[in-house]
């Protein structure tokens, strides 16, 4: 494939950036890549791995001369970063990000950008529970969706090129309004994560059941929650701080529904429980048919 | 290995019974196996597969002459089944079960048994989201725990033989008081399942987010919940009906904790969220170190 960009710059070198670097290199989507990270240790690791062509010590250096800049930092760091790099962005460059919440990223970043930069926020719906530059792999985005939320008055050519980049990494691309994105992700990601964190926290905090018991008997369902609850704490803190309203809305629906089931348990209403549990099987089938999960039992889990 | 039992009889031929049959056959733990199921279709499938040596049309036939009888039916069916088979159980036979709740199984079954039968309830902490005689596989119990809850005054030799059977199938065996078992499983299994069912139900029921969106973007966390929420509805109905008090206790703790996190989100208390999300990583590490889950990212999920 012909390179789509002359130089791609990553600010932040965690799971998503490192996966993008591997995928871009494999498909030849950029002539060169630079990158930087706030932590000296991460920069040293990235240098040692040869993750990108040049690991810079500052964001200003990394973005200079890049025609695509990808912000891959926790959302709480986006605004300060936008201020820092704005004077160094090349005219005509595209700026994107991979944050899990889109309206707040736009509000934090857009006001600081010069008029000659095309800002197109994005969010690849892909990840694992692991973090850092060594966690990335080229296949992460294959057959996953990437949602772009181009603002009103965006540059059509810049959007087209960014779309082709994600497709080149194996992803399908959808366009969406930022606010709707944040509601959809509150359902498919943010609320499930909060619930998993809560369940794991509760289990860790009981006096009558020991941690050792929780660990030994986790294969009965609980261990699935612990994977999600092992995700990066800073990233997830920022998700809930920046997608507050949609998360609270879905959490409200969740607790309402949970109370109805709780009442059915208390009252011994087996018919209600069985009907509820039967209905939820269909959505699993839909996910498997759409190629968004494996139908192998237990995820085809690798035996430890 | 020398056979531990002359004849093992399964009543119910779903995921657990069929996995036991494969594991017992592979390790030569029984000289013969019989089985039965309420559904004619299940019996026909089991016959076609040669799952056991003889598939019987009734439970009475299946258990006759067996020195080990394993009840593998939903818990709501246990009491009627105990009444039905009691007159046909051989003197000195061991009776066990694989139900997810132990106190209620004991209360439902024990009163109907003749004095010459050794009843030792059990619960293998293993499974997948799939059901039925074709879902079983011989490795299901390898390195998993099986909890036995021998009642007061149990027969030591019968317990020892049943323990060796589970060990022969690859499991580790723990002994526990039935009530404590039910509390531990409310934490590691029953409450997580109820929460997963609830979250999937909520997602399925929103007007502002379509099912198609939920399915497409499920890789962001939600799809993990759908696996658990695809488990057998009748089995899970019975879990909540029979482990009511422990489930309600843990659910109460869960909602309490969830409300604290919800308030932290509403108030923008990032320090609280980050501290909470950091703490839960440790328990994941404990599970991996104990060999109860893989450390491969995303469970080493097989790509669909």
Distance from CA of B181 to the nearest CA of A (A): 10
Phi/psi region, residue A136 (left: phi>0; alpha: psi -120 to 50; beta: rest), is beta
pTM over 0.80: yes
CB contact under 8 A, A220 and B188: yes
B73 class by beta-carbon count within 10 Å (0-12 exposed, 13-18 middle, 19+ buried): buried
B contact test, residue of A199, A207, A208, A229 with most B CBs within 10 A: A199
User: Phi, psi at residue B234, to the nearest 5°?
Assistant: -70, -45
Q: Which member of B211, B221, B301 has the closest CB to residue A228?
A: B221
Question: Which of the two residues, B159 and A279, has the higher pLDDT score?
Answer: B159
CB contact under 8 A, A303 and B296: no
The answer to whether B142 and B170 are in contact (CB under 8 A) is yes
Strands (E) located in B24-171: 30-36, 54-55, 68-71, 94-97, 118-119, 122-124, 145-148
Q: At what angle do helices B281-289 and A191-204 cross, to 10 degrees?
A: 70
The answer to whether A162 and A96 are in contact (CB under 8 A) is yes
Choices 3.90.79.10, 1.10.3660.10, 3.30.420.130, 4.10.1240.10: CATH for A180-300: 1.10.3660.10
pLDDT at B303 over 80: no
For residue B2, the 8-state DSSP code is: -
CB contact under 8 A, B244 and A266: yes
Contacting residues for B19 by C-beta, under 8 A, at least 6 apart: B126, B135, B136, B137, B138, B140, B141
pLDDT value of residue A300: 82
CB contact under 8 A, A258 and B198: yes
CB contact under 8 A, A226 and B293: yes
Distance from CA of A283 to the nearest CA of B (A): 7
pLDDT at A302 over 80: no
Residues A230-259 have pLDDT tens digits of: 888 999 999 999 999 999 999 999 999 999
Radius of gyration of chain A (CA): 21
Express as a percent the part of chain A with pLDDT over 90. Answer: 83
Distance from CA of A86 to the nearest CA of B (A): 27
Q: Which member of A225, A236, A257 has the closest CB to residue B201?
A: A257
Separation between Cα atoms, residue B174 and residue B284, nearest integer Å: 22
Q: How confident is the model at residue B2 (pLDDT cuts 50, 70, 90)?
A: confident
Choices 1.20.120.530, 1.10.3720.10, 2.40.50.140, 1.10.3660.10: CATH for B180-296: 1.10.3660.10
Q: Which member of B188, B205, B266 has the closest CB to residue A222?
A: B188
The dihedral formed by the CA atoms of B36, B40, B42 and B45, expressed in degrees to the nearest 10: 100
CB contact under 8 A, B293 and A139: no
pLDDT value of residue A304: 60
Q: Which member of B201, B261, B303 has the closest CB to residue A198?
A: B261
List of chain B residues whose C-beta atoms are within 8 Å of the C-beta of residue A225: 192, 224
Cα–Cα distances (Å) from B4 to B134, B141, B168, in that order, read 25, 18, 9
CB contact under 8 A, B218 and A127: no
Question: Which of the two residues, A132 and B207, has the higher pLDDT score?
Answer: A132
For the domain covering A5-176, report its CATH number.
3.40.50.720
Distance from CA of A111 to the nearest CA of B (A): 23
First-to-last alpha carbon distance for chain A, in angstroms, is 39
Break chain A into its structural domains and give their ranges.
Answer: 5-176, 180-300
Tell me which residue of B96, B101, B97 sits closest to B182, measured CA to CA: B101
Q: Which residue's structure tokens are 């001369």?
A: A65
pLDDT value of residue A236: 95
pLDDT value of residue A219: 84
CB contact under 8 A, A233 and B127: no
List of chain A residues whose C-beta atoms are within 8 Å of the C-beta of residue B194: 258, 261, 265
Residues B98-119 have pLDDT tens digits of: 999 999 999 999 999 999 999 9
pLDDT value of residue B295: 87
List of chain B residues whose C-beta atoms are within 8 Å of the C-beta of residue A224: 192, 224, 227-228
Separation between Cα atoms, residue A247 and residue A258, nearest integer Å: 16
What is the average per-residue pLDDT within B121-141?
95
Distance from CA of A140 to the nearest CA of B (A): 10
The answer to whether B138 and B153 are in contact (CB under 8 A) is no
What is the average per-residue pLDDT within A36-53?
98
Chain centroid to CA B39: how far? Answer: 20
Chain B: residue whose CA lies nearest to A226: B284
List of chain B residues whose C-beta atoms are within 8 Å of the C-beta of residue A274: 233-234, 237
Separation between Cα atoms, residue B9 and residue A169, nearest integer Å: 54
CB contact under 8 A, B253 and A206: yes
Chain A: residue whose CA lies nearest to B226: A284
Express as a percent the part of chain A with pLDDT over 70. Answer: 99
Cα–Cα distances (Å) from B5 to A42, B1, B33, B96, in that order, read 59, 12, 9, 13
CB contact under 8 A, A215 and B283: yes
Q: At what angle do helices A244-267 and A191-204 cross, to 10 degrees?
A: 60
Residues A53-82 have pLDDT tens digits of: 999 999 999 999 999 999 999 999 999 999
Tell me which residue of A290, A223, A107 sits closest to B304, measured CA to CA: A290
Size of interface A-B (CB pairs under 8 A): 375
Separation between Cα atoms, residue B1 and residue B187, nearest integer Å: 36
CB contact under 8 A, B226 and A284: yes
DSSP string, A101-168: -SHHHHHHHGGGS-TTSEE--EEE----S--STTS--TTTTTT-EEEE-PPTT--HHHHHHHHHHHHH
Distance from CA of B134 to the nearest CA of A (A): 12
Q: How confident is the model at residue A1 (pLDDT cuts 50, 70, 90)?
A: low
pLDDT value of residue A303: 67
Chain A: residue whose CA lies nearest to B15: A297
pLDDT value of residue A297: 86
Express as a percent the part of chain B with pLDDT over 70. Answer: 99
List of chain B residues whose C-beta atoms are within 8 Å of the C-beta of residue A291: 304
Q: At what angle do helices B270-279 and A233-242 cross, to 10 degrees?
A: 140
What is the average per-residue pLDDT within A118-146?
95
Strand order of the sheet with strand A172-175? Answer: A122-124, A145-148, A172-175
CB contact under 8 A, B226 and A283: yes
pLDDT at B67 over 70: yes
CB contact under 8 A, B233 and A274: yes
Q: How confident is the model at residue A189 (pLDDT cuts 50, 70, 90)?
A: very high
Contacting residues for B32 by C-beta, under 8 A, at least 6 apart: B6, B7, B8, B53, B54
pLDDT value of residue A82: 98
Q: Which residue's structure tokens are 């659910």?
A: B251
Mean pLDDT, chain A, rounded, equals 95
Residues B216-253 have pLDDT tens digits of: 999 888 999 999 898 889 999 999 999 999 999 999 99
Distance from CA of B23 to the nearest CA of A (A): 17
Separation between Cα atoms, residue A93 and residue A165, nearest integer Å: 14
pLDDT value of residue B153: 95
Distance from CA of A264 to the nearest CA of B (A): 9
Q: Which residues of A21-51 are buried (b: 16+ CB within 10 A; e: fewer)?
A: bbbbbebebbeebbbbbeeeebbebbeebeb
pLDDT at A193 over 90: yes
Identify the H or E element spanning A36: strand A30-36
Chain A: residue whose CA lies nearest to B269: A241
Shared fold status for B5-176 and B180-296: no
Tell me which residue of A142, A125, A122 sits closest to A26, measured CA to CA: A142
Chain B: residue whose CA lies nearest to A258: B198
DSSP string, B141-190: TTT-EEEE-PPTT--HHHHHHHHHHHHHTT-EEEE--HHHHHHHHIIIII
List of chain A residues whose C-beta atoms are within 8 Å of the C-beta of residue B122: none
Prediction ipTM score: 0.91
B contact test, residue of A225, A271, A278 with most B CBs within 10 A: A225
Radius of gyration of chain B (CA): 21
Contacting residues for A266 by C-beta, under 8 A, at least 6 apart: B244, B248
Strand order of the sheet with strand B118-119? Answer: B54-55, B30-36, B5-11, B68-71, B94-97, B118-119
What is the average per-residue pLDDT within A97-116?
97
pLDDT value of residue B296: 86
């Amino acid at each position: 494939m012909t390179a789509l960009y002359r130089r791609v710059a990553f600010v932040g070198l965690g799971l998503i950036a490192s996966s993008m670097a591997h995928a871009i290199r494999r498909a030849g989507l950029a002539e060169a890549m630079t990158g930087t990270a706030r932590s000296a240790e991460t920069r040293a690791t990235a240098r040692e791995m040869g993750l990108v062509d040049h690991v810079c010590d500052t964001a200003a250096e990394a973005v200079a001369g890049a025609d695509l800049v990808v912000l891959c930092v926790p959302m709480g760091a986006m605004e300060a970063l936008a201020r820092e790099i704005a004077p160094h962005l090349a005219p005509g460059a595209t700026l994107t990000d991979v944050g899990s919440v889109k309206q707040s990223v736009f509000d934090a970043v857009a006001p600081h950008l010069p008029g000659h930069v095309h800002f197109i926020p994005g969010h690849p719906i892909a990840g694992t529970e692991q973090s850092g530059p060594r966690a990335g792999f080229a296949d992460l985005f294959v057959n996953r969706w990437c949602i772009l939320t181009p603002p009103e008055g965006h540059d059509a050519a810049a959007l087209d090129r960014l779309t082709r980049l994600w497709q080149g990494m194996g992803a399908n691309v959808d366009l969406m309004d930022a606010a709707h994105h944040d509601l959809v992700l509150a359902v498919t990601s943010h609320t499930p994560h909060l619930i998993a964190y809560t369940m794991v926290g509760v289990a860790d905090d009981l006096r009558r059941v020991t941690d050792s018991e929780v660990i030994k008997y986790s294969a009965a369902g609980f261990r699935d929650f612990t994977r999600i609850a092992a995700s990066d704490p800073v990233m997830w803190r920022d998700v809930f701080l920046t997608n507050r309203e949609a998360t609270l809305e879905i959490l409200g629906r969740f607790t309402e529904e949970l109370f109805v089931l709780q009442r059915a348990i208390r009252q011994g209403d087996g018919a209600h429980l069985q009907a509820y549990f039967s209905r939820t099987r269909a959505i699993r089938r839909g996910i498997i048919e759409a190629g968004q999960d494996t139908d192998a039992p237990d995820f085809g889990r690798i035996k430890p």
